[in-house]
Amino acid sequence: MQTPWSIDADITKAETLPGKAYTDPRIFELSREKVFASSWQLLSDLDRLSRPGSVCPTRFIDGWIEEPLLFARDLEGGLHCVSNVCTHRGNLVCEKEGMEPSLKCRYHGRRFRHDGSFVSMPEFEGVQGFPSPKDDLPKVAFGQWKKLLFASLAPAQPFAQLAAFLQERVGWLPLENAVLDRDRSRSYDIAANWALYCDNYLEGFHIPYVHAGLNRVIDYGDYRTELFEGGSLQIGTAKNPRDAFELPRSSPDHGQLIAAYYFWLFPNTMLNFYPWGLSVNRVKPRAVDRTTVEYLIYVWDTTRIDQGAGRGLDALEQEDQEVVVSVQHGVRSRLYDRGRYSPSRETGLHHFHRMLTLSLNA
């Protein structure tokens, strides 16, 4: 299936995604394999795998691509990501996070090392050609940037490329000191297509119209978007030096008042850095018009959490969700098809629509 639309590479000529991109169940279904299966997903962090023998079972994208995966640290300290499905008859090998000296399937006792390699199996004497490499848990591609752990089922892009972009820009931030704050983390269900949520995230054009509070602390005239292969970065500058990062000389932005770095990794991962820490949004499709957004809050400086662009994130989120749900009603209209882009304010959106269309047609 090819999409019945294309997105011109020239933003001044291009039209936006048509309404059916957000409403057609066939497009939605196509995106599962073409867009998500080959993406990098943020699945865990090093704090959950700090000691030899740590195990952390997870799903690739729960509710969408349920693939059971397992991060594990072996007894020598090596980190691995493997399938969490037993190669005997498919039971889940590891059911809860914690410490395991080795991996043992509780159904019939098959054992594996933390790197997924087969160790032993009761009652299999005489089975021909056994064990073979097929009895190992399949290895899964994973990537680490600072304490964040990502995995991909079939990477369309090397993780190192994404990590290099993050590292160059915000590699100096003390993410290793950040702690996941479970009380501040949440998850929201939104009655809209996942891509509409991303569309809204990818432009600061709406800030003066939708976010009066945020608009008071950032300099809208100076708001900017940079594109890179596999994602984009939006930078908000602070009106008040009190709300800005203390940038080291090594930062390419040294000398500026940066209030926030908003990184988006195609298709559904957002890493928002503020002077107090990081907020992560993981956008999980549920149905063509239903999405869950999971928020994880990592804090390294609690004293700054109530100031600047990273303050009052719940209210900001409500303001965004209201418009996203409204747009979902609008794109269903038979009188709406496509719009045009602002070349100064919607480059991130155009970049996303190009990537999405290219992936759907790949």
Residue 105 binds: one of Fe ion, ligand FES, none (C-beta under 5 to 8 A by kind):
ligand FES
Q: Which spans of this chain sit near ligand FES (rule: CB under 6 A)?
A: 86, 88-89, 91, 105, 107-110
Residue 57, phi then psi, degrees to nearest 5: -75, 145
Residue 320 interacts with, from ligand FES, Fe ion, none (CB under 5-8 Å by kind): Fe ion
Task: Select from Fe ion, ligand FES, none the partner in contact with residue 78, using the beta carbon and a kind-dependent cut-off of 5 to 8 Å.
Answer: none
Q: How far is the CB of 317 from Fe ion (least distance, A)?
A: 8
Chain centroid to CA 246? 26
Token pair for 185: 């983390």
* Closer of 136 and 319 to Fe ion (Cβ): 319
Cβ at position 87, least distance to ligand FES in Å: 8
- Which residue, among 241, 250, 310, has the nearest Cα to 275 in the 3D structure? 310
Nearest residue to Fe ion by CB is 320
Provide, rounded to whole angstroms, the least separation between the CB of residue 143 and Fe ion.
28
**Is residue 279 a contact partner of residue 297, using CB atoms and an 8 Å limit?**
yes
Per-residue binding string, Fe ion, 294-333, x by CB under 5 A, is: --------------------------x-------------
If the CB atoms of residues 124 and 209 are measured against ligand FES, the closer one turns out to be 124
User: Closest separation between CB of residue 14 and ligand FES, Å?
Assistant: 51
Q: Closest CB to ligand FES among 92 and 210?
A: 92
**Residues contacting residue 60 through CB under 8 Å, at least 6 positions apart:** 41, 43, 66, 67, 69, 151, 153
DSSP string covering 104-143: E-TTT--EE-TTS-EEE-TT-TT-TT-S-GGGSPPB-EEE
φ/ψ (deg, to 5) at 197: -60, -45
Residue 228, strand partner residues: 231
- Give the total of residues touching Fe ion (CB under 5 A): 1
Nearer to Fe ion, 44 or 237 (CB): 237
CB of 63 to ligand FES, least distance (A): 24
Binds 67: which of ligand FES, Fe ion, none (CB < 5-8 Å by kind): none
Dihedral over Cα of 193, 61, 349, 237: its sign:
positive
Token readout for 188 is: 């929201």
State in angstroms the smallest separation of the CB of 291 from Fe ion. 15
Q: Is 71 helix (H, G, I), strand (E, B) or coil?
A: strand
List interacting residues with Fe ion (CB under 5 A). 320
